[in-house]
Amino acid sequence: MLKKLTGIVVLFVFIVVLAFRIDGEKIDLSEEKKIQVHNIDEIPAMPALDNYGMAVQFYEDIVESRIQRNESLYIILSRHGVSPDIIHSIQQDARGVVNLHRMIPGQQYRIYKNDGKASAMVWRNSTTEYTTINWEDGIRISSASIPVKTTIATVSGTIRSSLANAIQAQGVSNRLVVELANIYAWTIDFYGLRQGDQFKAVYENRHVMDEYIGIGKIKAAEFEHRGNVIRAYFYDNGDQPGYYDAEGNSMRRSMMRVPFEYNPRISSGFSHNRLHPILNQRRPHYGTDYAAPTGTPILASGDGVVTEAQYRGGNGNIVQIRHNSVYRTAYLHMSRFASGIRPGVRVRQGQVIGYVGQTGLATGPHLCYRLYKNNTPINSVTYDFPPDEGLAPEHMPAFLAEVKRLDEMLESLIEPIESIALN
């Protein structure tokens, strides 16, 4: 019996020891599965890339320059020792990818070299695009976009002499003046702004590679004019991008009051009894004359179809547009028509249809702009145009939330504040 008990104890001890060994071996095995890094310096570093995605450490020399007048791809690459055969192959392979004949003086480019031999080129073919050409191991050509960084900026002020001066005094681009004039083209006569009128704007600044490239969208704006406060908000639901008031009504009207990107001086108004400056006779003047330099672009004041584009006696070069069954407009004394403008062509509101001139009976360069309602001439300066289509009801909740956010920014504006990064 004692021997049997002793045998059982020995067996138990053996099993316990074996279990510990097996468990220890499991721990050792799991340790072996871990990645062991003996020397971190042996791990290769990621190659440093320039702004165009080129691994600069693989090139001994990088030459940066700008395209000069009368320079072409052939001239540039030949100067850097690239053979005519390779240049010809590049031009052939580029077809369907990029037009290498559209190199413009002033555009940037880089040449990448090893051992004094050029093997790659990057051409900055626009502010936000570039083309990479590599011919070291076969020809590879690709185009890519440069990310645009957008920040929100604000400006506010009081008009002392002009809106342009008030905005320029704060170091803001004059483009903002043009964009504000476009937004309020149907509600405010910018030539009628008064000393003491106030303005606010929340707008985008755009940068590429830390270089300022101009303003983007105006997100919200406010004008206090003649005792009225008029706010406008940009909203894009994917279907109706544009500017709206706080109730979702469009800031646009079915017709532009002035067919220019800015409001030029009125040299002669709508009249039923005007003394003609050339004929020296009293006769009706059923239009508004805008004095502007020769060549100033003239815009279609509304969507429609061109019904006339020709030279017609005292009217000079004239374009007429039928907008719908009610309205049509006429544009007289043009120096020339815009490309593609001819009878039957459909145009969009704001599209360039011609350029200011003094053809026909005219004493100087100007546009005579005429508006007809049901074939009756009316004064475009005083006429109350019907509003464009507003936002659909299903878009209003999201729009009102955006209005609330933008109102908080506008109401906080007393002095200009720091830009707020969007991305």
At 96-133, the pLDDT tens digits run: 889 998 899 999 999 999 988 999 999 999 999 999 99
Q: What angle do CA 299, 305, 307 make, to 5 degrees?
A: 100
Residue 184's pLDDT is what?
86
Based on the fold, state whether residues 229 and 321 are members of the same structural domain.
Answer: no
- On whether residue 1 sits in a domain, the answer given is no
Residue 422's pLDDT is what?
40
The pTM assigned to this predicted structure is 0.60
Residue 44's pLDDT is what?
54
Cα–Cα distance for residue pair 323/35, rounded to 1 Å: 74
Of 94, 112, 145, the position where a domain reaches its end is 145
Based on the fold, state whether residues 245 and 271 are members of the same structural domain.
Answer: no
Based on the fold, state whether residues 342 and 286 are members of the same structural domain.
Answer: yes
- On whether residue 27 sits in a domain, the answer given is no
User: For residue 355, what are the domain limits?
Assistant: 265-378
Cα–Cα distance for residue pair 81/385, rounded to 1 Å: 64
- On whether residue 45 sits in a domain, the answer given is no
Low-confidence ranges of the chain (pLDDT < 50): 1-5, 9-10, 13, 15-40, 43, 279, 415-423
26-61 pLDDT, tens digit per residue, is 444 343 333 334 444 554 555 678 888 898 888 989
Give me the count of residues in the chain: 423
Residue 35's pLDDT is what?
34
- On whether residue 42 sits in a domain, the answer given is no
Based on the fold, state whether residues 105 and 169 are members of the same structural domain.
Answer: no
Q: Are 375 and 327 in contact (CB under 8 A)?
A: no
Based on the fold, state whether residues 273 and 374 are members of the same structural domain.
Answer: yes
Residue 281's pLDDT is what?
57
Based on the fold, state whether residues 191 and 295 are members of the same structural domain.
Answer: no
- On whether residue 339 sits in a domain, the answer given is yes
Based on the fold, state whether residues 177 and 277 are members of the same structural domain.
Answer: no
- On whether residue 2 sits in a domain, the answer given is no
Based on the fold, state whether residues 370 and 275 are members of the same structural domain.
Answer: yes
Based on the fold, state whether residues 110 and 71 are members of the same structural domain.
Answer: yes
298: number of Cβ within 10 Å: 26
What is the domain-level CATH number for residue 194? 3.10.450.350
Based on the fold, state whether residues 70 and 126 are members of the same structural domain.
Answer: yes
- On whether residue 30 sits in a domain, the answer given is no
71-96 pLDDT, tens digit per residue, is 999 999 999 999 999 999 999 999 98
Cα–Cα distance for residue pair 51/253, rounded to 1 Å: 44
Cα–Cα distance for residue pair 351/302, rounded to 1 Å: 9
Based on the fold, state whether residues 280 and 242 are members of the same structural domain.
Answer: no
What SS3 string covers the chain?
CHHHHHHHHHHHHHHHHHHHHHHHHHHHHHHHCCCCCCCHHHCCCCCCECCCCCEHHHCCEEEEEECCCCCCHHHHHHHCCCCHHHHHHHHHHCCCCCCCCCCCCCCEEEEEEECCEEEEEEEEEECCEEEEEECECECEEEEEECCCEEEEEEEEEECCCCHHHHHHCCCCCCHHHHHHHHHCCCCCCHHHCCCCCEEEEEEEEEEECCEEEEEEEEEEEEEEECCEEEEEEEECCCCCCEEECCCCCECCECCCCCCCCCCCEEEECCEEEEECCCCCCEEEECCEEEECCCCCEEECCCCEEEEEEEECHHHCEEEEEECCCCEEEEEEEEEEECCCCCCCCEECCCCEEEEEECCCCCCCCEEEEEEEECCEEECCCCCCCCECCCCCHHHHHHHHHHHHHHHHHHHCCCCCCCCEECC
What is the domain-level CATH number for residue 310? 2.70.70.10
Q: Are 232 and 217 in contact (CB under 8 A)?
A: no
Based on the fold, state whether residues 182 and 225 are members of the same structural domain.
Answer: yes
Q: Are 390 and 250 in contact (CB under 8 A)?
A: yes
